Structure 1
Amino acid sequence: MCYIAMVVDASYPNDIRVRKEAESLSDNGRKVVVICPRKKNEPKIEKINGVDIFRIGANYSNTKKGLFDIFESIFNINPLFFFGIKKAMKKYDIAFLHVHDLPLAGTGYMFKSKVKKIILDLHENYPEALKTWFVWKKSLIIRFKNFLFMNPVIWTKKEKRYCLKYDKVICVVEEMKHKLISKFTITSDKFIVVSNQEKKEFTSNFEKSKEQKIISSNVFSITYVGGLGPHRGLDTAIKAMPLILDKIPEVKLFIVGKGSKSVEDKLQETAKQFNVESKVSFIGYRPFDEVPAIMMNSDINIIPHKSNGHTDNTIPHKLFQIMMSKSSLLVSSCKPLKRIVEKYNCGVVFKADDKQDFADKVVLLFNEKEKFQEKKVNGYNAVVMKGENWEEESIKLNNLYNNL
């Protein structure tokens, strides 16, 4: 049997989306190899849950990744992955090349004649993401480098080129699919949507989670769990804290996760500017087995993303994780977040980037706790009983390969 080769510029099995896709295809009888960078002390070759892992290079670092990103931007090829894919093809009988995200699209396309089909899996709206990821960078050198090599105009052209050239394109939400169809005038049969739902078995994490010591019952807790970045909208939540404190003196905002130094500095500066340093707790990274308990013990879990071309065309795994936790959920009006929450009546939506509306919705949840109990159950049922889970979503991925 021939292999499906998944190519990803990220650590495996840490990348949740790639791991779920690879394991689902393997579970359905297909042979899958993941081609990914090799970090220090990682084995070059191993097998994890039925998936072959072929790691390339050595001691992969953010610096090396940055250099390869620049080379890719200029020449449409990533040397590490080009030679890595060539080596993998000598070892494995590869029939399908499944390339994850736009930066590796040029490299993957060079092998089109060597395989039966090439598939491009877009985790996000990459050109739009470039407009938001670096806005808090202060270094003029870094800003100039990003202007030259991470310019959204350049990457929009690449996005169109490879959406046309690849045999199939996978999008993470319907909004992204419709955007690409209308923007580039591409027929809809080119695209399928495979979203970021969680496996139903993920609910067991909330039953056996490790004890947490972050969230105290002495405060009304507003909690964010995840990566930190300018697009995440955490500055909106921080700016809203003085407004919330007027109505809920015992409130505290917990930010659980890591970001770049520039992002963390900006958020801490914002807390200082609005005189809420004592009411905003930057927790940093916590082990995964603590996160379910943190979610469950929080009075409100938030996803306060700003609404823009990036966030309106992707969806975070943690939305479905929070729904599974039977916790109160407050999300911004980003299109995919709003669509899911309103469809299942499983949370509250505030106007993105609006500190007053964020504060008003927090106060509403505080004052009417009992009224919103049903929403918590609705979220859980949406995942477990109404199909918003990976078991249902993965059928589309397997059907894609059945029909190639």
Structure 2
Amino acid sequence: MSYIGMIVDAPYPNDIRVRKEAESLVENGKKVVVICPRKKNELQREVINGVDVFRIGNNYTNTKKGLHDIFESTFNINLLFFFGIKKALKQFNIQFLHVHDLPLAGTGYFFKSKMKRIILDLHENYPEALKTWFAWKKNPIIKLKNMIFMNPNLWSKKEEKYCKEYDVVVCVVEEMKQKLISNFKIEPQKLVVVSNYEKKEFVENFLSSEIQSIITNKNFSITYVGGLGPHRGLDTAIKAMPKIVEEIPNAKLFLIGKGSKNVEDKLQEITKEFNMQQYVKFVGYRPFNEVSTIMRESNVNIIPHKSNGHTDNTIPHKLFQIMMSKSLLLVSSCKPLKRIVETYDCGVVFKADNINDFAEKVIMIHDNENKLSSKRANAFDAVMNKGENWEEESKKLHSLYTIS
């Protein structure tokens, strides 16, 4: 039987999008092998929920990844993955190559002639993301390396080239599809939107009450869950806290997640600058069975992303997770977030990067929690009954592999 080869430069099954797609295809009767790097003590071969995992290399560290990134940026090929794919082709009858994200596009393209179809799955607007990901880096050597090899203009040219060369390009939101059409004149028929929706069964995560949460009734809890980064808008939330606590003395901002040392140091500096140490809690990583309880019990869950070329062309999984939790939702005016929240009247929108508007919206939510309960219900209804779920969205993914 023929295989779909999924290529991802990240540990598997850690990447939510890759895991969801791979398992969905297996559930639909397809055979899938995920080719990914091998870290120390990981198995080279295993099967996880029906998905074959083929790990390549040994002890894949951040340093090794950085070196491969430099080579890849210069020569459009990642040698670890090039030889890894060749090995996989000898062991699996791979007829479709599904490449996750732009950096591996050049490597995957080398195998186009051997495949029935090659698919490029863009998790985000990668060139624009490069402008924001490294904004708070301090190491001058790393900053120089990023300026030369992770230059957004260079990667924008790669994006145009490979979007035209691949048979199908998968986009994570409609906004990304329209951007590729308008910027690069990519044919609309080769672009397919497969968004980061959740399975309906994910709602079961919010039914348990076994985990003791850090959220208590003593606080008006403003909660962020996810990775910490310059583009996440967490600096906006922290800077808004002085105005918020003037009106809501028991307000507390909970940051659930991890980021790089530079990012965490920067957010801690802002917290101290605004004298908000008492009101901003850096919780760090928590297992999802605890995170789901925190989401559910919080007074308001926030996605305060800055609005830019990156965030306006992607969407986080946690949006749909929060919608399932039946908790109040406050999002920034990033295009995809604003579109979904306003379409279903399922939350509140503040102007991205606007400290005063964020504070005013939080205060309004505090003063009108009961009146806003319909928005909670609308959010839940959207994901469970109106198609904003993986069961519906995955049909578009399955259709990519129906050719003979």
Taking structure 2 as the reference length, the TM-score comes to 0.99
Q: 1:359 is aligned with what amino acid?
A: A
Q: 2:241 is aligned with what amino acid?
A: M
The C-alpha deviation readout for 1:326-354, integer Å capped at 9, x for no partner, is 00100000000000001111100000000
Alpha-carbon shift at residue 211 of structure 1 (Å): 1.1
Q: Which runs of 4+ in 1 moved over 4 A?
A: none
CA–CA distance in 2 between the matches of 1:303 and 1:125?
18
CA–CA distance in 1 between the matches of 2:283 and 2:210?
17
Q: Which position in structure 2 is the counterpart of 1:386? A: 386
> Would you say 1:283 and 2:283 are equivalent positions?
yes
Q: Which position in structure 2 is the counterpart of 1:53? A: 53
The C-alpha deviation readout for 1:218-272, integer Å capped at 9, x for no partner, is 0101000000000000000000000101111110000000000000000000011
Q: Which position in structure 2 is the counterpart of 1:38? A: 38
Q: 2:22 is aligned with what amino acid?
A: A
Alpha-carbon shift at residue 210 of structure 1 (Å): 4.2
> Would you say 1:143 and 2:154 are equivalent positions?
no
Alpha-carbon shift at residue 403 of structure 1 (Å): 3.9
SS of alignment partner, residue 278 of structure 1: coil
Q: Which position in structure 1 is the counterpart of 2:74? A: 74
Q: Which position in structure 1 is the counterpart of 2:336? A: 336
CA–CA distance in 2 between the matches of 1:51 and 1:135?
37
2:300, 2:328 within 8 Å by CA — same for their partners in 1? Answer: yes
Q: 2:259 is aligned with what amino acid?
A: G
CA–CA distance in 1 between the matches of 2:100 and 2:215?
36
2:244, 2:251 within 8 Å by CA — same for their partners in 1? Answer: yes
How many pairs are equivalent?
Answer: 404
After the TM superposition, which of the residue ranges 53-62 and 299-308 deviates more from structure 2? 53-62
Cα root mean square deviation, aligned? 0.8
2:312, 2:334 within 8 Å by CA — same for their partners in 1? Answer: yes
Q: 2:54 is aligned with what amino acid?
A: F
Q: Which position in structure 2 is the counterpart of 1:110? A: 110
CA–CA distance in 1 between the matches of 2:6 and 2:72?
19
1:13, 1:19 within 8 Å by CA — same for their partners in 2? Answer: yes
1:221, 1:298 within 8 Å by CA — same for their partners in 2? Answer: yes
CA–CA distance in 2 between the matches of 1:322 and 1:212?
19
Q: Which position in structure 2 is the counterpart of 1:349? A: 349
Q: 1:91 is aligned with what amino acid?
A: Q
Question: Superposition pairs for residues 297-312 of structure 1, below 5 Å?
Answer: 297-312=297-312
CA–CA distance in 1 between the matches of 2:209 and 2:394?
26
Unaligned runs of 5+ in 2: none
> Would you say 1:14 and 2:14 are equivalent positions?
yes
Q: 1:211 to 1:36 in 2, by over 3 A?
A: same
% identity of equivalent residues: 71
Q: 1:212 to 1:66 in 2, by over 3 A?
A: farther
Unaligned runs of 5+ in 1: none
Taking structure 1 as the reference length, the TM-score comes to 0.99
Question: Superposition pairs for residues 214-363 of structure 1, below 5 Å?
Answer: 214-363=214-363
SS of alignment partner, residue 277 of structure 1: coil
Q: Which position in structure 2 is the counterpart of 1:190? A: 190
Q: Which position in structure 2 is the counterpart of 1:134? A: 134
The C-alpha deviation readout for 1:292-349, integer Å capped at 9, x for no partner, is 1010111110000000000000000000000000001000000000000011111000
> Would you say 1:371 and 2:371 are equivalent positions?
yes
SS of alignment partner, residue 401 of structure 2: helix
> Would you say 1:160 and 2:160 are equivalent positions?
yes
Alpha-carbon shift at residue 141 of structure 1 (Å): 1.3
